[in-house]
Structure 1
């Protein structure tokens, strides 16, 4: 079987780290999981026991995201020399394979050619607080079944070719689009209302230490308290998204292919992208996805 590694960076996001470890640690083996422990958090180190944990200083910095992806690109390039496929992304992003295939991620990648970059379709798991009262315990899908299309999270995140990723991992210096139909990237930021509030409080506290201008800092705008919005209103608005019957993602992937083109990444040539519209729709995941993460 082909060798597969996963790599992420985390600071105090223990809810998402537990989900990440359950997902990749169980499928790939913890010895094939690399976690950058930003700030040398003792709880992160304890949870990630058995993984390759790299502790780094946690000093706040206005160009945090730029520094972070410089480090992740270096790790990606090095790991790619030892593994057939490397999965890289934020700790609240998990790549899954449609259970309809009967395969998990390493089994799917074992049948996938190397020397390419794979882009799963991005879906955001949303907590419908008006419908989903069951708390999340050991699994997220089941208690949470609603998703909305998230093209911004259709990321080139499974790498087996020389390819540098942009800040945030949204684009790659790779000229072909490989988006296999069974692959999805689930973004978990909005999967639980209580967790969202807790995580955002932590991130706002971190950026407050930096005293940076949200318009100039290389940090996502949602990390700043002044651009955060009201938490409950964000989740109540999910009920207003148009519900689409069925679970047909082929039109979304066709749009990715149809709009594929070179991108000028702030003057850096070589990146490629597709159009990322804001969809105002939602879907209910089929029952077969329950328990996948």
Structure 2
């Protein structure tokens, strides 16, 4: 498939999310335009990513692995930019989508978008309302799951057609202009299914236990550590009490992002404020089946 848009991620195990990632980006961009860095040469990853560009790397546990991961991703992105107009980069549980109201799919949308910039989709966290959504997720996530919550930490500058450096975690870039197209969203899937969450967190806790490093040494989020995990069922039950809004008009969030846009100290990175929002939203019916 001829494409001037590429997608890249790095994954160790996480079959549920990798399957969704490959289904989404492989279907829109063509698998030959998708790069999967296989941390640990996992056989399941290689099988699920068949047809993609799979780069195998050693998986020995070591501290500072998130810094090293983003150093690698930065270099891969900048290399791919020599051949593609836009490169989408992020974790395997993050998917960029175009609001179906726009009328274009992701590939067409980005082909119509100027290059030499960094785009920041609005971050939404897909959550499993276990009290309202008993259906399992398998080959489709949106439909069985339609509740989302605002996730400023996942409004990431993840569509790159500029030589800007990306910070660890993908949260910031050294690019001084904020582009937040109205039709673009980044869907974070970590909480989209309770059973999958439990399995994934068990695996991530095992990784940090093998590394034997502290949060500071590993340079990764506290949620990877068993002692900071908390009780899973209580976490999901907490979603039940949040206010639910059906007025899916989020322009006010993007306006707040622009008002607080500023340099991030002396680092060369730029950022907006990322407050916590308590509200949930119901995705309009038009999003069903999108991922």
Specify the TM-score bucket, using the shorter chain as the normaliser. Answer: over 0.9
Give deviations 1:147-197, integer Å, cap 9, x for gaps.
000000000000001111000000000000000000000000000000000
Give deviations 1:9-40, integer Å, cap 9, x for gaps.
00000000000011000000000000000000
Distance 2:18 2:129 in 1: 22
* Aligned pairs for 1:82-101 within 5 A: 82-101=83-102
* Backbone CA RMSD of aligned residues: 1.0
Which position in structure 1 is the counterpart of 2:284? Answer: 286
Which position in structure 2 is the counterpart of 1:271? Answer: 269
Between 1:213-222 and 1:117-126, the stretch displaced more is: 213-222
Between 1:59-68 and 1:70-79, the stretch displaced more is: 59-68
Which position in structure 1 is the counterpart of 2:29? Answer: 28
Superposed displacement of residue 246, structure 1: 1.1
Give deviations 1:236-263, integer Å, cap 9, x for gaps.
0011111123101101000000000000
Superposed displacement of residue 210, structure 1: 1.2
Superposed displacement of residue 60, structure 1: 1.1
* Aligned pairs for 1:42-53 within 5 A: 42-53=43-54
Q: Which runs of 4+ in 1 moved over 6 A?
A: none
Superposed displacement of residue 215, structure 1: 4.1
Q: Which runs of 5 or more structure 2 residues have no equivalent in the other structure?
A: none
* 8 Å contact kept, 2:147–2:281: yes
SS at match of 1:134: coil
Which position in structure 1 is the counterpart of 2:132? Answer: 131
Distance 1:213 1:27 in 2: 39
* Aligned pairs for 1:102-113 within 5 A: 102-113=103-114
Superposed displacement of residue 216, structure 1: 3.9
* Aligned pairs for 1:147-158 within 5 A: 147-158=148-159
Superposed displacement of residue 143, structure 1: 0.1
Q: TM-score, normalised by structure 2?
A: 0.98
SS at match of 1:55: strand
Number of residues paired by the alignment? Answer: 290
* Aligned pairs for 1:165-244 within 5 A: 165-244=166-245
Distance 2:86 2:3 in 1: 8
Q: Which runs of 5 or more structure 1 residues have no equivalent in the other structure?
A: none
Distance 1:134 1:103 in 2: 29
Superposed displacement of residue 88, structure 1: 0.2
Distance 2:261 2:100 in 1: 28
Superposed displacement of residue 86, structure 1: 0.2
* 8 Å contact kept, 2:64–2:217: no
Which position in structure 2 is the counterpart of 1:247? Answer: 248
SS at match of 2:218: coil
Distance 1:2 1:142 in 2: 28
Q: TM-score, normalised by structure 1?
A: 0.97
Distance 2:5 2:237 in 1: 39
